[in-house]
Structure 1
Amino acid sequence: MIDFGAQFTKMSNADLGEANALLDGLLLDGETVHAAFKGANNYWAVFADRRLITVTAQGMTGKKREYSTLPYSSLRATSVTTDAKIELWFADLGFAVLGGMSMPYRLRLEFVPDVDVRALERFVVGKIL
């Protein structure tokens, strides 16, 4: 499962064709990619119409990859900053419980300045409201 402390930094726009090839066999029938971003350490964040898919490279060569699905239905809050950062707060993922209550998990994505994070946040918020 995704390491919520992972460094999704310097995320820049990626080619949708490259993202579709990266996710070959993982997308559901009829599911489409809305936006894709590639960052430092070969990390990916792919915003599909039903979920956010993160891809992290592992190992010395980075050829081993971990794919994690974060459904928009688990997204509880978002935050966007003017310096091109988005924070997404996910709950109901079945993880650590504190005092009988599950804790939301924060995923921070830091983009290069030319990424329109406001448009991306509007897309995400449209999936949860």
Structure 2
Amino acid sequence: MGLFDGIIGNASEVNLEKLREEVNDLLTPHETIKNAYKIIRDTLIFTDKRLILIDKQGVTGKKTQYHSIPYKSILHFSVETAGTFDLDAELKIWISGNELPIQKNFNKTTNIYKIQSVLAEYVLGK
């Protein structure tokens, strides 16, 4: 279901070593990638310092927007688990200064509790 999940906007986990090579220039010298998820061409990266959203734009995907969200800017977040007939789990993140949340869907095999745990660790403090 990988291609189907991508088409409907669901995310899957990314190999962190390969991703680290691709985004090394985005990271600060002491920043560590904790988890990462890919949705078709877009990527969510959870580091120990911030959340990075990578949005590939255009037909070729060469134009890219990098959105960096410090954890202190996250007001609150919610997760919704996948159900029997609902094939995706959902993450919503409310950012200071934005009325609407950032919303991402994950396939049923993604551990939404792990994502919630990573966010909670950094938003709530260690």
TM-score by length of 1: 0.80
Counterpart residue identity of residue 29, structure 1 = P
Matches within 5 A, 1:75-94: 75-83=74-82, 84-92=89-97
Q: Number of residues paired by the alignment? A: 112
Task: Give the whole-Å Cα distance in 1 for the aligned partners of 2:22 and 2:92.
Answer: 24
Relative distance call for 1:29 and 1:105 in structure 2 (3 A) is: farther
Native 8 Å contact 2:50 2:70 kept in 1: yes
TM-score by length of 2: 0.81
Unaligned regions of 5+ residues in structure 1, if any?
1-7, 93-102
Which is richer in helix? 2
Unaligned regions of 5+ residues in structure 2, if any?
1-7, 83-88
SS at match of 2:60: coil
Residues 63-113 of structure 1 deviation map (CA, whole Å, 9 limit, x = unaligned): 221111011100011111112111111104xxxxxxxxxx44411110111
Task: Give the whole-Å Cα distance in 1 for the aligned partners of 2:31 and 2:24.
Answer: 12
Partner of 2:47: 48
- Percent of residue pairs identical: 27
Backbone CA RMSD of aligned residues: 1.8
Q: CA deviation at 1:43?
A: 0.6
Matches within 5 A, 1:1-129: 9-40=9-40, 42-83=41-82, 84-92=89-97, 103-129=98-124
Counterpart residue identity of residue 108, structure 1 = Q
Counterpart residue identity of residue 42, structure 2 = Y
Task: Give the whole-Å Cα distance in 2 for the aligned partners of 1:104 and 1:73.
Answer: 17
